[in-house]
Amino acid sequence: MTDLTEYLDYSSAPDQLTGGVRRIPISTAKGEFSVWVKRTGNNPTIRMLLLHGGPGATHELYECFDGYLPAEGIEYIYYDQLDSYYSDQPNDPDLWTIEHFVDEVDQVRRALGLNKDNFFLYGQSWGGMLAIEYALAHQQHLKGLIISNMVSDVQDYNRYAREVLGPQMDPAVFAEIQQFEADEDYDNPRYEELLMQHHYTEHVLRMPLDEWPDSIMRTFKHLNKGLYVHMQGHSEFGMTPNATLGRWNRSADLPGIRVPTLTIGAAHDTMDPKHMEWMAGQVQQGRYLHCPNGSHLSQYDDPQHFFPGLVRFLREVDDGEF
């Protein structure tokens, strides 16, 4: 493990005054912008860049990492993607593409000095999709890959929501949700209320709403709804068919991922944990981490399994023992 004196020493770093925060310039087809990042710790061989979900959520989804990873000496870097709350927000749908975000991640990588000797890429939900896409395009720069709570086929996500999770609800509630979706009445407050009370607290974060951590409430408050709806749709209960990610499927391409890869699934996730276990067998060097008490945000509702499994993977890859 990295010596904690060195891990906590920012004295020679240009971001000492800001506590690890900096803005990274990003070149796009629509001009120059900047994105927000925050580094925690120093570990020259384990540097993990965090790709948040959404699209359009924020790094705040991972603030609980502060309670677990510093004691392990792992360096990790929060990052708000373009058009997310802490970064620039050009609000241009022409930039809301997989191709843009993959290029953006690579620009961030270069600015941070991440390379095959130290670069672990962690992506959860939409961030997991982006991590897969990045690995398929640029895996020569990766030391390890973590795909958390994301299947490799959106249609499987949709099927699981409607054929497995939906029928677990009260039939009257499920029927009402289905009617709102058939009517495309997604902005109806009742639709959101039903999902929050009967789906989100069961499969997104398994806590009563009044116990959800402040970091998660801030994430919802700061969500870029326009970006989220454009790419994902209106809820976490499957993707809306006309969303730009609505037909995304990389299952057939997983065998092309050569770097050590950890897939993370949870028993109560919005995604099928069996699919995420299958993914670990499709990549060339894969392992599956199961969180038996967790849901979509298993770092919050099953940290007892999530963090030890994540740390073990990072260390074994770093030690050449994976």
- The encoded tokens of residue 207 equal 């806590």
User: Please, which pLDDT band fits residue 196 given cuts at 50, 70 and 90?
Assistant: confident
Mind giving me the DSSP string for 221-259?
HH--HHHHHHHT-S-SSS--TTSTTTT-B-GGGGGG--S
> 217, 188 in Cβ contact below 8 A?
no
Q: What pLDDT, on a 0 to 100 scale, did the predictor assign at position 2?
A: 55
Phi and psi (nearest 5°) for 23? -115, 135
- The encoded tokens of residue 55 equal 């699209």
Flag whether pLDDT at 186 surpasses 90. Answer: no
> 66, 38 in Cβ contact below 8 A?
no
Q: Range with the lowest mean pLDDT among 7-16, 134-143, 297-306?
A: 7-16
Q: Range with the lowest mean pLDDT among 115-129, 141-155, 189-203, 296-310?
A: 189-203
pLDDT digits (tens, 9 = 90+) for 14-25: 899 999 999 999
Q: What is the mean pLDDT of residues 167-194?
A: 89
pTM (two decimals): 0.96
More confident residue, 95 or 1: 95
pLDDT digits (tens, 9 = 90+) for 158-173: 999 989 998 998 999 9
The overall average pLDDT reported for the chain is 95
Phi and psi (nearest 5°) for 114? -85, 140
pLDDT digits (tens, 9 = 90+) for 47-89: 999 999 999 999 999 999 999 999 999 999 999 999 999 999 9
Q: What pLDDT, on a 0 to 100 scale, did the predictor assign at position 313?
A: 98
Query: One-letter amino acid identity for 69?
Result: L
Catalytic site positions: 125, 269, 296
Q: What is the mean pLDDT of residues 288-316?
A: 98
Q: What pLDDT, on a 0 to 100 scale, did the predictor assign at position 14?
A: 86
Cα–Cα distance measured from residue 170 to residue 120, given in angstroms and rounded to the nearest whole number? 41
Query: Cis omega before residue 55 (within 30°)?
Result: yes
pLDDT digits (tens, 9 = 90+) for 207-266: 999 999 999 999 999 999 999 999 998 877 778 778 999 999 999 999 999 999 999 999
> 129, 142 in Cβ contact below 8 A?
no
How far, CA to CA in Å, does 38 sit from each of 64, 66, 78, 86, 226?
14, 12, 5, 11, 25
Q: What is the mean pLDDT of residues 147-157?
A: 96
Phi and psi (nearest 5°) for 96? -90, 65
pLDDT digits (tens, 9 = 90+) for 253-274: 999 999 999 999 999 999 999 9
